[in-house]
Amino acid sequence: MNIAFIGLGNMGAPMAANLVAAGYNITGFDPAGVAMDGVAEANTALAAVAGAKVVITMLPNGDILRSVAQEIIPAMDTGALFLDCSTVDVESARQVAEHATSAGLLAVDAPVSGGIGGAAQGSLTFMAGGSARGFALAKPLFDVMGQKAVHCGDAGAGQAAKICNNMILGVTMAATCEAFALADKLGLDRQKMFDVVSTSSGYSWSMNAYCPAPGVGPTSPADNDYSPGFAAELMLKDLRLSQQAAEGADADTPMGQLATTLYTQFVEDEDGLGRDFSALLPRFENRGRG
């Protein structure tokens, strides 16, 4: 099967490499250049999609996705699948799906969780929105690039699931970090704090699987001087998408809003840029209430 892969950055390149290893014919396009074994390089997105049964996009944001979609949809074969794996706003995902389906294509939005490590290991989770036919066509590809794919509903449902999940993640990481800083100030040993919370009602993925305290719990970016992992600015991107969606849907999300304000400050005014999102712990550690 011929597949076009557009956007071969930190996530796209290892995802495409796994498809090549599984025997798919991949033609790639990225304005930054494509230097990947087994991937045929196209000079434009338009050239990449010629004859492709599936076009996968893995792009930075909704504006870029919409402009790429505008360019390639008219050139795609009828019945082909437009499979967007980027994290973008729900509105862009729905617009692109509508454009694609009205042009006789199938469309699925399928953002991922699992980061660069999951992309390299083929263990991503895909959350997908679109028709059952589109999902069925994408499923064998999800199985190569990931370990789990959930069909969440119609167009945009994948993006909706992704930003709700990541809003929870931003909020629980902030809460976990501030609780560690409070525990420090109360003279509680961090290992004891972990032993109790990780097996009590305060447990979460942030505490149990990605503990923000160095030397405590499983190995995490905290053990590597908070080098990402999942960079604070990517967390901020997803939190902003959650608040944009909440505004559009008139949903009250005060905790998500607070986490967005906190990460904005951390990334834009403090030293959060380029650090893991769990580096909120040293930030809280060094502050008082004032």
Nearest to ligand NAD of 7, 129 (CB atom): 7
Nearest to ligand NAD of 181, 279 (CB atom): 279
Give me the residue whose beta carbon is nearest to ligand NAD: 9
Angle between helix 90-102 and helix 232-249 axes, rounded to 10 deg: 70
Q: Are the C-beta atoms of 263 and 277 separated by less than 8 Å?
A: yes
CB of 249: closest distance to ligand NAD in angstroms?
21
Burial class (CB within 10 angstroms; exposed 0-12, middle 13-18, buried 19+) of 240: middle
Q: Are the C-beta atoms of 73 and 105 separated by less than 8 Å?
A: yes
CB of 242: closest distance to ligand NAD in angstroms?
13
Nearest to ligand NAD of 237, 283 (CB atom): 237
* Catalytic residue, candidates 53, 139, 148, 162: 162
> In this structure, what are the phi and psi dihedrals at residue 184, rounded to the nearest 5 degrees?
-55, -50
Q: Which residues bind ligand NAD (CB under 6 A)?
A: 6-12, 29-32, 45, 58-60, 64, 68, 86-87, 112, 115-116, 230, 234, 237
CB of 230: closest distance to ligand NAD in angstroms?
6
The one-letter code for the residue type at 3 is I
> In this structure, what are the phi and psi dihedrals at residue 111, rounded to the nearest 5 degrees?
-65, 165
Q: Are the C-beta atoms of 43 and 73 separated by less than 8 Å?
A: no
Q: Name the token pair of 91.
A: 């509105």
Residue 211, C-beta contacts closer than 8 angstroms, at least 6 positions apart: 194, 198, 217, 218, 220, 222
CB of 15: closest distance to ligand NAD in angstroms?
9
Bridge-based pairing of strands 124-130 and 112-113 is: antiparallel
Nearest to ligand NAD of 24, 29 (CB atom): 29
Q: Is 162 a catalytic residue?
A: yes
Nearest to ligand NAD of 8, 174 (CB atom): 8
CB of 162: closest distance to ligand NAD in angstroms?
8
Active-site residues, by number, are 162
